[in-house]
Structures are given as C-alpha cells and as structure tokens.
Amino acid sequence: MSTITPTALQSSQPPIIPLDFNANQPETIRLYPLSNYTFGVKETQPEEDPSVLARLKRLEEHYQAHGMRRTCEGILVCHEHNHPHILMLQIANAFFKLPGDYLRPEDDEIEGFKARLDERLAPVGSLGEGNKAGDWEVGDCLAQWWRPNFETFMYPFVPAHITRPKECKKLYFIQLPQSKVLSVPKNMKLLAVPLFELYENTQRYGPQLSAIPHLLSRYNFEFVNEDGEVVAKTPGTGAPDSYVPRPKVLAGGDDVDMKTENGTH
C-alpha cells in the first residue's frame, strides 16, 4: 500500500483570492515571539487583604472617601508558534489576573496605570539596566467592567437600576516592544496563556479573562520571528500540526521547577 506524501494532498488549482475585507479595521498589531523577552523575579508583594471580605470592606472605605474606584489592567500579547499568548499573573497557584491594579485617588489615569504596571512587572537591580520607569505603550481600551455594589460580581455594563457603581475596571491593550525585561514578584507566577486556552473557559479563568479572545478579534496580527521578519499574518498560516497551545510558566512561584511546570523535562 503506497504512502500518500504531503505534496499529493496539495491542490493543483491556485487559491481564489477574495476582494479586500479590511474596511474600518484597526491597524494591524505586530506580535513578537515569547523568546524575545527576558523574565526574572523580585521581592514578594504580599496581598493587601487577607480575605475577599476584607477587600470588599476596603473598597467600601475607598468609596466613602473618594467615590468610585478606578482600576486599570493590561492585556500584554506576544506569540509562540504564530499563536497569540497573553501574559498573566497567577497567585497562590489558583487565582489568575492581568497586570495592573486600582489607581490612587490622585493619579492621572494613564500615568497611574503605568506606575502600577511597573510595580508588578518592572525589573529591579541589574535586570533593570536600560529600562525606564513607565516605559509602556498603552493602546486601546478594549473593555470596561463595572462593580455595581460592594460584592464580587462585575458586569460589562452598568445594570439599569444602578446609578452609582462602586468600581470601574478598564482593560487596555499594551503594545509590547520587540524585546523587554520583565520581573514578577516571587510569590506570583507569570504565565503565557494562549487564546486557545482562554476561549470560553470561564470555569477556570472567569468571565473577564475568558472574554479576551473576543476583545482581540477586532485586530489583525503580524507574527514576527526572532530576526524581525514577518513570518505569518492573520488570516494566514497556523502553527505546526504537532503544536498544541497551553499555558507556559515564565517566572515566579516559590520553589518552581520550570521544566517540570512546562512539561519539558
């Protein structure tokens, strides 16, 4: 029995090229490979609140003193095997969140947000050489989530009966440069989570994070290799047949064996 070679499966007819289909499309986003970035760890950043109840109590105190809390988080995107991956923090091996946090009452929105990104991801010591404070390219606001009451629930709209929401969280697209040094507190993990893993996975990641593939679908992407060459575009070629996207631990986590975590031992 003869073996069918890959060339035998190719069509002898050239593909039909459709008319342009990019009207009113945002500019194409260039994504750089995960291997372009350097990851390290820094001192522990303990959680401000020992429990969810304590966190909600502090939110209530903030509201009484300053009004609605403003929170900004970043969607940082790179790629591996031409598949977009989101840089995400994991706390206590369970809780996932995007880099960022609530703004101080006196903060300007964008400058305050950059300062919060620095707190979470800016390197220190020798790793910080060549890095400037607030060196982040804050792009489009992709989503707004609202907390109507002093409860854990947030919604991508303000419920009709709510006139004074207690918190607004904005998710911003952060354009990563061609290379960058990032450092995560050692009590957290920095993960690269593929869109494939996030999509409709509310049970593991919750409604905000699992909605990210929808938010990014408005963009076209160019995937660049380590040499700065565009190797794929959307729509275009996909990953190798043997590649299955899954989260990868980049840095952080006390006593973490990276090879074991990522299944590469």
Domains, the chain, ordered by start: 26-48+75-143+175-261 (3.90.79.10)
The span from the CA of 47 to the CA of 255, in Å, is 19
The model carries a pTM of 0.84
The predicted structure's pLDDT at residue 241: 63
How does DSSP classify residue 35? Answer: G
- The phi and psi torsions of 174 (rounded to 5 degrees) equal -110, 115
The predicted structure's pLDDT at residue 8: 47
In which region does residue 39 sit, left (phi positive, over 0), alpha (psi from -120 to 50) or beta (all else)? beta
What residues contact 51, with CB distance under 8 A and at least 6 apart? none
The span from the CA of 248 to the CA of 191, in Å, is 5
The span from the CA of 29 to the CA of 233, in Å, is 10
The predicted structure's pLDDT at residue 97: 95
If we measure between CA atoms, which residue out of 210, 162, 167 comes closest to residue 62? 167
The predicted structure's pLDDT at residue 115: 95
Ranges under pLDDT 50 in the chain: 2-8
